[in-house]
């Protein structure tokens, strides 16, 4: 019974806390970078329009939306310290001797901010993810918000699509303003998730979408 409770708790936290945290970070970053916000909205307006609301079938036509979400998770991974691993034998990792029975954590935040791996790592640049399909392998082991390999997050694809769908609709339907001036870094902590305090934002329905929103 206890094992079932713990499993359900993990599924609930992993499936809701991380997604809501990522959505809040994207809104924060887009408001702080209006050029990116306008570019994303223009892409949505051009490919979806204002005659209907964005739906899941539109996501494949919106690669820049995925770029924005990925760049947000690079700067502020939903889980900065990935699930721990346990060494079953003596080994060498990255030039370091790792004794048997050692608990190992993967620091996704440090990997994503490594200047040896990323150009201008502290800057919000979604365009860095505008790679062709055949070049996506270059992000392996450099971009690990969901982990890698056999122990990667099993809900990664679903989570990414759910977050992208929610964000696409929020950007399509509303204008956004942050309710108070705050530093992005002041909103960060390095605990289980990257959220320190709730996002306080003001959203105003876009005139062209009011009718569609009223029908929901």
CB 184 within 8 A of CB 29: yes
CA angle 163, 183, 160 (to 5 degrees): 10
Tell whether residue 153 is among the known ligand binding residues.
yes
CB 31 within 8 A of CB 177: yes
d(CA 160, CA 63): 12
Answer positive or negative: Cα dihedral of 144, 146, 152, 158: negative
- Cβ-in-10-Å burial (0-12, 13-18, 19+) of 54 comes to buried
For residue 127, give Cα distances in angstroms to 26, 66, 72.
Answer: 15, 10, 12
Binding residues: 153
Binding positions for heme are 153
């Amino acid at each position: 019974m206890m094992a079932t409770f713990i499993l359900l708790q993990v599924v609930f936290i992993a499936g809701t806390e991380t997604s809501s945290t990522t959505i809040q970070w994207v809104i924060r970053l887009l408001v702080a970078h209006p050029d990116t916000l306008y570019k994303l909205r223009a892409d949505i307006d051009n490919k979806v329009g204002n005659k209907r609301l964005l739906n899941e079938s539109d996501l494949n036509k919106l690669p820049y939306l995925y770029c924005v979400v990925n760049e947000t998770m690079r700067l502020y991974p939903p889980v900065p310290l990935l699930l721990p691993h346990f060494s079953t034998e003596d080994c060498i990792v990255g030039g370091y001797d790792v004794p048997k029975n050692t608990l190992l954590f993967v620091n996704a935040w440090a990997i994503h901010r490594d200047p040896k791996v990323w150009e201008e790592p502290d800057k919000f640049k979604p365009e860095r993810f505008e790679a062709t399909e055949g070049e996506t392998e270059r992000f392996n082991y450099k971009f690990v918000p969901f982990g890698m390999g056999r122990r990667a997050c099993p809900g990664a694809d679903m989570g990414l699509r759910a977050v992208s769908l929610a964000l696409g609709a929020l950007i399509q339907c509303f204008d956004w303003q942050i309710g108070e001036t705050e530093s992005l870094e002041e909103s960060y902590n390095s605990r289980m998730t990257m959220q320190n305090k709730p996002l306080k934002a003001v959203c105003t329905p876009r005139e062209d979408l009011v009718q569609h929103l009223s029908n929901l």
